[in-house]
Amino acid sequence: MKAPVRVAVTGAAGQIGYALLFRIASGEMLGKDQPVILQMLELPLEKAQAALKGVMMELEDCAFPLLAGMIGTSDPLVAFKDADYALLVGARPRGPGMERKDLLLENAKIFIEQGKALNQVASRDVKVLVVGNPANTNAYIAMKSAPDLPAKNFTAMLRLDHNRALSQLAAKAGVPVADIENLVVWGNHSPTMYPDYRFATAKGVSLKDKINDPDWNANVFIPTVGKRGAAIIEARGLSSAASAANAAIDHMRDWALGTNGKWVTMGVPSDGSYGIPEGIIYGVPVTCANGEYTRVRDLPIDEFSRERMDKTLAELEEERAGVAHLL
């Protein structure tokens, strides 16, 4: 059996936390031969800590063979101590009448504190996934607050958007989801994101050619994927949790264990390619191997795509400008 690794999860008593922790502990994220120690962070509020205690009791009651230990805390320095993986799920939700700007600033405080704590105590190789919204900018803030850790270790979750796009595409093209390769979701995890199926294939057949419907792309596919989060809230009365946790598992599993050449979307700090300014956390296609992600390079960008990629970039630049004075 391998030595246990430490997995920190924030917002552990929230709805995504509840859909996530049990799957990590059962080995779905890092493999059935990898023991894990869960280090769970929640707000110091009595109710949050009590709920976290309840989640830990349930984890205990599962008697997971791979669960080598558990810590529940309200102190980021405890939660992130020696963490090999950190899933930053907890965030300040948008309250009634709250402006986008205020939401950004409230979350900036959280991700500055957590970035600093990661910088201070986490493993130097920690892989960080930010799920809490606004995910890309929160990841950017945490990265900037952790100057001693490699910037490439900070990522934001675009995988839910990627998975949503896969299912929409599979349904339209009448192909199994598992056959689809080479899909991309560019940009911000927000309705401005650009799901791009120009390179997508199923068993080597171009899905763009098979579907051959630019109107569907512009007026159905892109808006359906972009507004899917709102549609789930409308239907369920709560935001997506199981699918978000599933996407977080997919993101971390692929990063840690590799994708066998398959493209997946990750929000990663830009290296300046595709006209995205360096450092901005932007959804791009990557492949993963040996615990590292590598960008898919030199894809042609047509006028339609450029326009959409620039729109989602403009939103990210605006978010970055909104928090610049804090960093």
> Which residues are documented as binding site?
11-17, 94, 100, 107, 114, 131-133, 164
- Bridge partners (DSSP) of residue 287 are 294
The footprint of ligand NAI on residues 68-97 (CB under 6 A) is 89-93
According to CB under 6 A, which one of 21, 42, 108, 323 is a site residue for ligand NAI?
42
Q: Which is nearer to ligand NAI, 15 or 26 (CB)?
A: 15
Q: Does 29 bind ligand NAI (CB under 6 A)?
A: no
Rule CB under 6 A: choose which of 21, 36, 66, 131 binds ligand NAI.
131
Q: Which two tokens stand for residue 231?
A: 């549609």
**Cα–Cα dist 2/33, whole Å:** 7
Smallest gap from residue 315 Cβ to ligand NAI (A)? 15
- Would you call 264 helix, strand, or coil by DSSP? strand
Cα–Cα distance measured from residue 323 to residue 293, given in angstroms and rounded to the nearest whole number: 27
Task: Please choose, from the candidates 115, 118, 125, 108, the residue with its C-alpha nearest in 3D space to the C-alpha of residue 145.
Answer: 115
- The answer to whether 190 touches 228, Cβ cutoff 8 Å, is no
171 burial via Cβ count (<10 Å: 0-12, 13-18, 19+): exposed
Asked if 157 interacts with ligand NAI (CB under 6 A), we say: yes
Q: Which is nearer to ligand NAI, 7 or 48 (CB)?
A: 48
14 binds ligand NAI (CB under 6 A): yes
d(CA 230, CA 2): 41
Residues 248-307 that bind ligand NAI (CB under 6 A): none
Active-site positions read: 189
Binding site for ligand NAI (CB under 6 A): 10-11, 13-17, 41-43, 48, 89-93, 110, 131-133, 135, 157, 160, 189, 239-241, 244
